[in-house]
C-alpha cells in the first residue's frame, strides 16, 4: 500500500496510475462479486449493472436540484413515483418524491407528520415505533424533535398490537410498521395496525424499503403475502428503496403519501434568501441526475416480468438457504421470515463464534444482538455461492464453542434494545469512537 495522502499531489497523477491505485485500495474490501457479503450490495447481474452505468454516464453531469433546468429529471422522478404508487396499491391521489435513500425517505415522512401536527396545533407530536423498525426512525426523532415511543416486538418478532394501542395518547400522530423489518424479515400486522390508526385518526407509515420490490411480486406468484401496502385503508405513507431489490444504483429511494396534502408538509421553502425564492422537496440540494435517470431506467428495463423473475429466483434461493440452515443441528431461524432477508441463531452454539469462523473463511455476515444471531440478505447473485456457504456454515458450527447461556438469555430479554457488553463499557462511546475512526482513518 502507498502512504496515506494528506495533501493534494503537487501535480496531477496519470489516470492509469490512479486506476491501479483504485484497484489496489480495495484488496481488503468484501468480495461482493463472488457473493461473499450478505448485505449492502444488491446485484442483478453484470449486464444489468453495465446498462445502469451507461445510463448514469449519460446523465451524470445533470443536477436534480433544478427540474426547471432539467425537465427530463422531473419527468423521470414523477414516473418513478407513479410506477411505485401503482405497484404499492396507490391510486390517482397518491403523491411522492424520489430521495437519496431509505433514510431520507423516512426522515422526510416523519418531518411531514411533525409539521402537519404543528399546523394542527400539536406542538409536541409523538410516534409509536416497533423496536424492530429501522434506526432511521430514531434518527428522525432526534433530528426533528419528535418523541418516539419504542414498543418491544411480540413473541413472533412482529409489532405488538396491544402494546402499540396502549402507547397511543393524545399527542400521538403516527404509527410505524415495517414490510418487512430488516432484522428478521417479518412483516408487521399492517392490516390491524391500519385499523387502529384509522380508528384513532392518526397516520401509519409502512417502511417497505427492503420489501417494495419483492412482496408485490411474491404475491403475484401466489405466495402468502400479508397485506402491507396502500390497499390497507389506514396506511398513509410508505418508503420504498430503489437501490435495494429495485436494482437501481445506490442513492435512490422514494417516499409516498396517500394524498398530496401530507406531502406538502415535507417541503422546505425560503422566501427571504438574498439569492431568490428557494423551494426544496427533500433534504438534499444538488442531486446527481445520473442516479435519477438510472433508477427510472432500471424500472423500465426490468419491468414487471423482470422483477417477478428476480423475486422468484431470490425466494427460491432464500428457501434453499433456510432449509439448509434448519438442517444443521443447533441452528434455527429467528421467527418466521416473510421474505428474503432473515436471521438465524443457535441455542447450543455461540453464534458469534460461528460468525467469526465464517469471517475467517472469507464470508461477511452481519451480527445481531437480540437475539444474538447472524443476518442474511439474499439476492440472486448469491446463487453460485450458496452451496459453499452452507458447507462452510456447517463446518463452522461443528467446531464452534458452546453458547454462553447467560449472554444469550440477556440478549433474548432485550429484543430491539442493543446490549453490547456486560463489561460495563459504554456502548454509545464505543460507537462514537468507531465513527471517528472511520472518518479520520487514512
Ligand X SMILES: *Cc1c(COP(=O)(O)O)cnc(C)c1O
Q: Give residues in contact with ligand X (CB under 6 A).
A: 101-103, 134, 136, 178, 182, 207, 209-210, 241, 253
Q: Name the pairing type of β-strands 331-333 and 278-280.
A: unpaired
Shortest Å, Cβ 181 to ligand X: 6
> Which is nearer to ligand X, 94 or 103 (by Cβ)?
103
Sheet with 366-369: list strands edge to edge. 331-333, 341-346, 372-377, 366-369
Q: Residues 174, 149: contact at Cβ < 8 Å?
A: no
Cell numbers 401536527 label which residue?
Answer: 117
Shortest Å, Cβ 269 to ligand X: 25
Shortest Å, Cβ 137 to ligand X: 8
Residue 440 C-alpha cell reads as 479520520
> Which is nearer to ligand X, 103 or 346 (by Cβ)?
103
| Three-state SS at 48 | helix
Shortest Å, Cβ 90 to ligand X: 19
Cell numbers 408538509 label which residue?
Answer: 265
- Alpha helices, DSSP H, located in 285-335: 289-326
Residue 188's Cβ-count burial label (10 Å; 0-12, 13-18, 19+) is: buried
SS3 track for 160-194: CHHHHHHHCCCCEEEEEEECCCCCCCCCCCHHHHH
> Which is nearer to ligand X, 90 or 185 (by Cβ)?
185
Q: How far apart are CA 212 and CA 225, in angstroms?
A: 12
Q: Which helix (H) or strand (E) holds 203?
A: strand 203-207
Q: Which helix (H) or strand (E) holds 206?
A: strand 203-207
Shortest Å, Cβ 247 to ligand X: 14
Q: What does DSSP assign to residue 366?
A: E
> Which is nearer to ligand X, 256 or 354 (by Cβ)?
256
Shortest Å, Cβ 284 to ligand X: 13
> Which is nearer to ligand X, 136 or 159 (by Cβ)?
136
Shortest Å, Cβ 398 to ligand X: 32
Report how far apart, in Å, the C-alpha atoms of 167 and of each of 106, 118, 186, 200 are: 21, 20, 21, 12
> Which is nearer to ligand X, 151 or 393 (by Cβ)?
151
> Which is nearer to ligand X, 243 or 349 (by Cβ)?
243
Residue 191 C-alpha cell reads as 392490516
> Which is nearer to ligand X, 331 or 339 (by Cβ)?
339
Shortest Å, Cβ 234 to ligand X: 19
Shortest Å, Cβ 223 to ligand X: 19
Q: How far apart are CA 54 and CA 64, in angstroms?
A: 18
> Which is nearer to ligand X, 95 or 215 (by Cβ)?
215
> Which is nearer to ligand X, 250 or 407 (by Cβ)?
250
CA nearest 175: which of 183, 165, 162? 165
Q: What does DSSP assign to residue 63?
A: B
Q: Which helix (H) or strand (E) holds 105?
A: helix 102-119
Using CB positions, name the residue nearest to ligand X: 102
Verify cis geometry, omega within 30 degrees of 0, for the bond prior to 279: no
Shortest Å, Cβ 239 to ligand X: 7
Amino acid at each position: 500500500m502507498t502512504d496515506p495522502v494528506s495533501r493534494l499531489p503537487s501535480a496531477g497523477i496519470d489516470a492509469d496510475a490512479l486506476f491501479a491505485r483504485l484497484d489496489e485500495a480495495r484488496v481488503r474490501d468484501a468480495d461482493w462479486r463472488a457473493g461473499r457479503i450478505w448485505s449492502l450490495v444488491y446485484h442483478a447481474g453484470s449486464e444489468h449493472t453495465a446498462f445502469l452505468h451507461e445510463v448514469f454516464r449519460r446523465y451524470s453531469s445533470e443536477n436534480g436540484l433544478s427540474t426547471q433546468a432539467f425537465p427530463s429529471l422531473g419527468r423521470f422522478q414523477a414516473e418513478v413515483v407513479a410506477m411505485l404508487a401503482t405497484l404499492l396499491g396507490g391510486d390517482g391521489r397518491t403523491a411522492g418524491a424520489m430521495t437519496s435513500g431509505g433514510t431520507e425517505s423516512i426522515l422526510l415522512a416523519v418531518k411531514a407528520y411533525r409539521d402537519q401536527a404543528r399546523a394542527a396545533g400539536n406542538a409536541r407530536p409523538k410516534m409509536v415505533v416497533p423496536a424492530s423498525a429501522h434506526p432511521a426512525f430514531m434518527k428522525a426523532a432526534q433530528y426533528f424533535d419528535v418523541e418516539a415511543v419504542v414498543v418491544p416486538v411480540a413473541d413472533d418478532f412482529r409489532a405488538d398490537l396491544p402494546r402499540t394501542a396502549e402507547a397511543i395518547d393524545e399527542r400521538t400522530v403516527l404509527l410505524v410498521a415495517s414490510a418487512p423489518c430488516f432484522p428478521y424479515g417479518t412483516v408487521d400486522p399492517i392490516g390491524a395496525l391500519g385499523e387502529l390508526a384509522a380508528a384513532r385518526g392518526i397516520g401509519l407509515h409502512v417502511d417497505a424499503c427492503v420489501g417494495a420490490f419483492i412482496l408485490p411480486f411474491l404475491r403475484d406468484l401466489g405466495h402468502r403475502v400479508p397485506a402491507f401496502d396502500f390497499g390497507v385503508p389506514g396506511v398513509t405513507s410508505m418508503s420504498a428503496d430503489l437501490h435495494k431489490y429495485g436494482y437501481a444504483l445506490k442513492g435512490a429511494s422514494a417516499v409516498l403519501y396517500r394524498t398530496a396534502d401530507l406531502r406538502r408538509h415535507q417541503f422546505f421553502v425560503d422566501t427571504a434568501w438574498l439569492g431568490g425564492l428557494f423551494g426544496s422537496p427533500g433534504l438534499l440540494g444538488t442531486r446527481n441526475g445520473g442516479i435519477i435517470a438510472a433508477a427510472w431506467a432500471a424500472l423500465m428495463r426490468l419491468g414487471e416480468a423482470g422483477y417477478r423473475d428476480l423475486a422468484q429466483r431470490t425466494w427460491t434461493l432464500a428457501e434453499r438457504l433456510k432449509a439448509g440452515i434448519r438442517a444443521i443441528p443447533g441452528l434455527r431461524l429467528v421467527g418466521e421470515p416473510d421474505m428474503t432477508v432473515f436471521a438465524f441463531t443457535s441455542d447450543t452454539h455461540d453464534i458469534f463464534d460461528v460468525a467469526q469462523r465464517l469471517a475467517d473463511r472469507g464470508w461477511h455476515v452481519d451480527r445481531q444482538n437480540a437475539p444474538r444471531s447472524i443476518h442474511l440478505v439474499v439476492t440472486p447473485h448469491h446463487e453460485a455461492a450458496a452451496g459453499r456457504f452452507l458447507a462452510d456454515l456447517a463446518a463452522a458450527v461443528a467446531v464452534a464453542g458452546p453458547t454462553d447461556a447467560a449472554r444469550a438469555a440477556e440478549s433474548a430479554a432485550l429484543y430491539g434494545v442493543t446490549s453490547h457488553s456486560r463489561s460495563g463499557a459504554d456502548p454509545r462511546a464505543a460507537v462514537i469512537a468507531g465513527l471517528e475512526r472511520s472518518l479520520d482513518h487514512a
